[in-house]
Structures are given as C-alpha cells and as structure tokens.
C-alpha cells in the first residue's frame, strides 16, 4: 500500500511540474476570488444578523412597554373600583343601625332629652350617608312597583290602589349612585 501512495504522490508532483505557469496563476486567483466572496458576504450576513437582532430586541421592548402600559391601566381601574366597593360595604354595615334608629323614632313617646338625643344621632347618621352618597329609595304608598328597586314580600288585594302599586314599605331600601345597596321590602297591591 505504501508503494501505491508514493507512486500517486510522485505522479501528482510530476503533473504540477509539467503544467505551464499560466495555468497555475488562474488556479491561485480562483481560490483568492473565492476567499474574497465569502469575506464580502460576511459583512452583509453580519449586518443582516445585527439588523435581525435589533428588530427582535426592539419588538421585545415594544411588547414589554405595551404590557406595562396595560398593567398600569388595569391597576388604575382596580384602584378606582375598590373605593366604591369599600364605601358600599361600610354603608351596608350601618344600615341595621339606621333601621333601629328609625324604629325607635317611630314609637310615639314624650319629647324627653333621651328622645332628642336619638333624633340627633339619626340626623348625624343621615349626614354621614349623604357624604358617602347613600340615599334612600322612594317606595312610599302609591308608588309604582319596580322590581329593580323593590322586593315584593307580600301581596294584598286593594281596590283603592292600582295594579302593581306599593301598598306599604316594610323596610327602606338604599342606593349609592346607580348601585342598589339594599332593595326596599314592600307590600304590593293587586
């Protein structure tokens, strides 16, 4: 085997020596030209890679910026919705106190200092409710029944009242703006 290899290498060296110089020059130029082309392509590829990386990073940046903006807006909406919820929660806790004060004042008694004190406490609670934006729902006798505002707990036949008209308010209802905190409990006629 070694003899075959040595003969092949000798043949190759002889072929190189026999070829004229003019043929060798183009061969050497071709590899140089081939080397120049990849070098010329390398900056373009590097430039393209850098541009793609820039676009990718810019896109990530814009997405992150949009996500942060959405987070900020969502946080603001949540904060704005928490305050009315908290106000309504506080008002609901004080409604039984208001009911008891109204019951105490509905009993006819002498005008004593104790009675006057209860009147003043109710007046103060009314002012607090007004500051919170809590107002009573109108459900007086003769008012039309509205299922969005009133809760019918009793039904009575009464010829003097029209159909679906409130005959009596059993418990006051309250609202805070458009939101119903507690429906009015009513007795409905016909």
Bridge partners of 176, per DSSP, are 134, 179
Q: Give the containing element (helix H, strand E) for 152.
A: strand 150-156
pLDDT for position 46: 86
- The answer to whether 168 and 143 have CB atoms below 8 angstroms apart is no
- Percent of the chain whose pLDDT exceeds 90: 58
Q: Could you give all domains of the chain from N- to C-terminal order, each with its CATH number?
A: 133-190 (2.30.22.10)
What pTM value is reported for the model?
0.60
Structure token digits, residue 10: 């000798």
- The answer to whether 172 and 140 have CB atoms below 8 angstroms apart is no
pLDDT for position 41: 55
CA-based max dimension of the chain: 140
Planar angle of CA 124, 176, 162, nearest 5 degrees: 100
pLDDT for position 22: 46
Bridge partners of 179, per DSSP, are 176
Give the residues of the chain that fall short of pLDDT 50.
Answer: 1-5, 18-29, 31, 33-35
pLDDT for position 14: 53
- The answer to whether 135 and 98 have CB atoms below 8 angstroms apart is no
Neighbours of 182 (CB within 10 A): 18
pLDDT for position 99: 94
Bridge partners of 94, per DSSP, are none
């Amino acid at each position: 085997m070694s003899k075959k290899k040595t003969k092949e290498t000798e043949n190759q060296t002889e072929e190189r020596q026999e070829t004229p110089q003019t043929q060798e020059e183009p061969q050497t130029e071709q590899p140089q030209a081939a080397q120049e082309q990849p070098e010329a392509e390398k900056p373009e590829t590097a430039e393209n890679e850098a541009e793609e990386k820039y676009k990718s990073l810019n896109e990530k940046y814009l997405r992150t910026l949009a996500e942060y903006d959405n987070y900020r807006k969502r946080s603001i909406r949540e904060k704005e919705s928490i305050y009315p919820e908290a106000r309504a929660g506080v008002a609901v806790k004080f409604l039984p106190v208001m009911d008891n004060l109204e019951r105490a004042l509905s009993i006819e008694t002498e005008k004593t200092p104790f009675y006057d004190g209860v009147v003043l406490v109710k007046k103060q609670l009314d002012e607090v409710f007004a500051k919170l934006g809590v107002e009573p729902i109108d459900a007086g006798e003769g008012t039309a029944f509205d299922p969005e505002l009133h809760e019918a707990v009793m039904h009575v036949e009464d010829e003097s009242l029209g159909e679906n008209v409130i005959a009596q308010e059993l418990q006051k209802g309250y609202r805070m703006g458009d939101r119903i905190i507690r429906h009015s409990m009513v007795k409905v006629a016909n």
